[in-house]
Amino acid sequence: LLSMFGVDLGYSEKQLEQNAWQILLYQSFAIAVVVLWSLFSDWQFSSVITLSSAVQALAYMMLWIQIRKTSSVAGISKNMLLLQVFSLVARLSSTVFYNGYLPTDRSGQHLYQALDLFCLGLVMSLLWAVSFAHRHTYDAQSDSCHMWWMPLAAAAIAFWVHPSLNNSTIGDMYWTTALWLETFSMVPQIWMMSRKRLHGSLSHHVCKC
Question: In residues, how long is the chain?
Answer: 209
> How far apart are alpha carbons 156 and 23 in whole angstroms?
42
| CB 152, CB 202: distance < 8 Å | no
pLDDT for res 18: 67
Q: Give the model confidence (pLDDT) of 175-199 as tens digits.
A: 999 999 999 999 999 898 887 665 5
- For residue 17, the model assigns a pLDDT of 66
Residue 22's pLDDT is 80
pLDDT at 203: 55
Alpha-carbon distances of 199 from 19, 188, 189, rounded to whole Å: 14, 17, 13
pTM score of the predicted model: 0.85
Q: What are phi and psi of 204, to 5 degrees?
A: -65, -25
At 203, the amino acid letter reads S
Question: What's the rounded Cα separation, in Å, for the pair 203 and 186?
Answer: 10
In whole angstroms, give the CA distance from residue 49 to residue 183: 15
Task: Specify the pLDDT at position 108.
Answer: 87
**Regions of the chain short of the pLDDT cut 70:** 1-18, 196-209
Closest to 57 measured CA to CA, from 28, 18, 79, 97: 28
Q: Whole-angstrom Cα distance, residue 203 to residue 201?
A: 5
Taking the C-alpha atoms of residue 182 and residue 95, their distance in angstroms, rounded to an integer, is 15
In this structure, the dihedral spanned by the alpha carbons of residues 54, 58, 59 and 60, taken in order and rounded to 10 degrees, is: 100
Domain residue ranges in the chain: 10-208
